């Protein structure tokens, strides 16, 4: 199990355009029709009640008072709280991908996934007087050798601001910095929506379609402008063979974010299932075009070439990635490393310097500085 606090030099934000009327679209959604009855919007409150995810109990308040008293400076409070939550002999919270729940549940059980851990840390950090919020991370996508994209992963952690210009990322199952494709801050309402989304997908897997639909609807009532929630609602409708409703939900996701990859992929699956070959081919082409415009696809091709030690081909792919996203510090750094492998030290130095200038995570900056020193040593050795 790995925990982490990472210092951020700045927050790299990304997001999708907000479509007016998404909330109205939720109110017009058709009921779920099952063999044993119909589930309507009126049934949602009973089937999908919204818990208070960051509510505190007296033992939780006592825990904060003991381990993160306000007499400590903010950074000390943060570090002390983090150590107390993860430390053996203290709270000792462990990672469990299936451990959904609110802050109180995690505090009592000692098990959490990324979202439920975020509920706990946000609750305790705020009690300690820290400025804590949820953060959504998009994991860098991967592709198969045939160029088919593997499903994108999404990850939630906590952002804590301790002073002007100094903020930290807290995580129970931290991603490698190079695997983070994008990030954005989430409000508490969005976090509640994601909790309902998790419950919806668990219920769908557990053959409880009515509970799945109700939680998917409740998620959208809370955050109608998160396109990923529309994609998951479409999955519930498709499971119930309400194909028109599934199609409409996927198009709603694309109205919010025209580049929503999962929506496009799901349209391919839906039209394949329905035998609508012309529409399937249209969306296959859209998926491929979107893939070709994704810098991480070209970086992935570069990585594959690098695995074969074909550094010239790897450089071509990374140059294409940089054309698409020229200020991405990780792409700049990786391209610099390829130049280093090719003994092109001046180019390597320039790119690693640019990576340092654009990086936001302090560990990245330190790693890049170490590599820059290695490049300069090799440059110096080659001139003598």
Q: List phi, psi (to 5°) of 11.
A: -105, 120
Same domain? For 205 and 305 the reply is: no
The residue out of 183, 207, 225 marking a domain boundary is: 225
Confidence of residue 19 (pLDDT cuts 50, 70, 90): very low
Same domain? For 2 and 105 the reply is: yes
Q: What CATH number does residue 141 fall under?
A: 3.10.620
Residue ranges of alpha helices (H) inside 70-156 are 74-86, 103-109, 114-127
Confidence of residue 9 (pLDDT cuts 50, 70, 90): very low
Same domain? For 23 and 132 the reply is: yes
CB atoms within 10 A of CB 28: 9
pTM above 0.85, yes or no: no
What tens digit of pLDDT does each residue of 57-106 get? Answer: 999 999 999 999 999 999 999 999 999 998 887 888 999 988 889 999 99
Residue 322 lies in a domain: yes
Same domain? For 217 and 320 the reply is: no
CB atoms within 10 A of CB 159: 20
Same domain? For 303 and 183 the reply is: no
The residue out of 225, 245, 279 marking a domain boundary is: 225
**Residue linked to tokens 């063979």:** 241
Long-range CB contacts for residues 102-106, cutoff 8 Å, separation at least 24: 102/51, 102/52, 102/53, 102/54, 102/55, 102/195, 103/53, 103/54, 103/55, 103/56, 103/60, 104/55, 104/56, 104/57, 104/60
Same domain? For 199 and 328 the reply is: no
Cα separation, 103 vs 54, whole angstroms: 5
Residue 325 reports pLDDT greater than 80: yes
pLDDT the model gives residue 149: 47
The residue out of 200, 225, 250 marking a domain boundary is: 225
Name the residue range of residue 321's domain.
Answer: 295-382
Same domain? For 202 and 351 the reply is: no
Q: What CATH number does residue 347 fall under?
A: 1.25.40.10
- The rounded mean pLDDT for the chain is 88
Same domain? For 3 and 148 the reply is: yes
Same domain? For 59 and 184 the reply is: yes
How many domains would you assign to the chain? 2
CB atoms within 10 A of CB 265: 21
Answer for the pair 297, 266: CB distance below 8 angstroms, yes or no.
Answer: no
Cα separation, 355 vs 316, whole angstroms: 18
Same domain? For 196 and 331 the reply is: no
50-67 burial: b if 16+ Cβ within 10 Å, else e:
beebbebeeebeebbeeb
Same domain? For 36 and 157 the reply is: yes
Same domain? For 120 and 3 the reply is: yes
Cα separation, 302 vs 132, whole angstroms: 37
């Amino acid at each position: 199990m790995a925990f982490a606090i990472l210092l951020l030099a700045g927050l790299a934000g990304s997001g999708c355009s907000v479509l007016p009327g998404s909330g109205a679209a939720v109110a017009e959604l058709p009921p779920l029709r099952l063999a044993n009855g119909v589930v309507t919007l009126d049934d949602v409150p009973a089937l999908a009640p919204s818990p208070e995810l960051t509510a505190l109990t007296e033992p939780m308040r006592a825990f904060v008072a003991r381990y993160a008293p306000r007499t400590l400076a903010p950074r000390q409070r943060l570090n002390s709280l983090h150590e107390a939550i993860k430390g053996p002999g203290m709270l000792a919270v462990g990672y469990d991908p299936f451990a959904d729940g609110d802050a109180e549940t995690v505090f009592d059980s000692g098990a959490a996934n990324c979202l439920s851990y975020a509920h706990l840390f946000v609750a305790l950090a705020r009690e300690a007087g820290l400025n804590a919020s949820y953060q959504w991370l998009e994991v860098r996508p991967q592709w198969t050798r045939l160029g088919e994209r593997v499903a994108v992963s999404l990850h939630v952690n906590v952002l804590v601001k301790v002073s002007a210009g100094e903020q930290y990322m807290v995580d129970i199952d931290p991603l490698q910095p190079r695997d983070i494709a994008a990030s954005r801050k989430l409000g508490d309402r969005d976090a509640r929506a994601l909790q309902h989304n998790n419950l919806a997908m668990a219920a769908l897997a557990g053959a409880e379609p009515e509970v799945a639909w109700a939680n998917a609807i409740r998620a959208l009532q809370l955050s109608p402008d998160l396109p990923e929630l529309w994609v998951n609602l479409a999955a519930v409708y498709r499971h119930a063979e309400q194909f028109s409703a599934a199609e409409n939900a996927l198009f709603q996701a694309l109205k919010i974010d025209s580049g929503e990859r999962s929506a496009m992929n799901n349209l391919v699956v839906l039209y394949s299932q329905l035998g609508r070959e012309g529409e399937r081919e249209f969306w296959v082409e859209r998926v491929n075009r979107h893939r070709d415009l994704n810098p991480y696809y070209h970086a992935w091709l570069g990585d594959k070439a690098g695995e074969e030690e074909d550094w010239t081909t790897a450089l071509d792919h990374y140059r294409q990635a940089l054309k698409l996203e020229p200020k991405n510090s990780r792409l700049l750094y990786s391209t610099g490393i390829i130049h280093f492998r090719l003994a092109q030290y001046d180019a390597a130095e320039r790119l690693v310097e640019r990576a340092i200038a654009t990086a936001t995570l302090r560990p990245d900056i330190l790693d890049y500085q170490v590599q820059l020193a290695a490049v300069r040593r090799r440059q110096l050795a080659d001139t003598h």
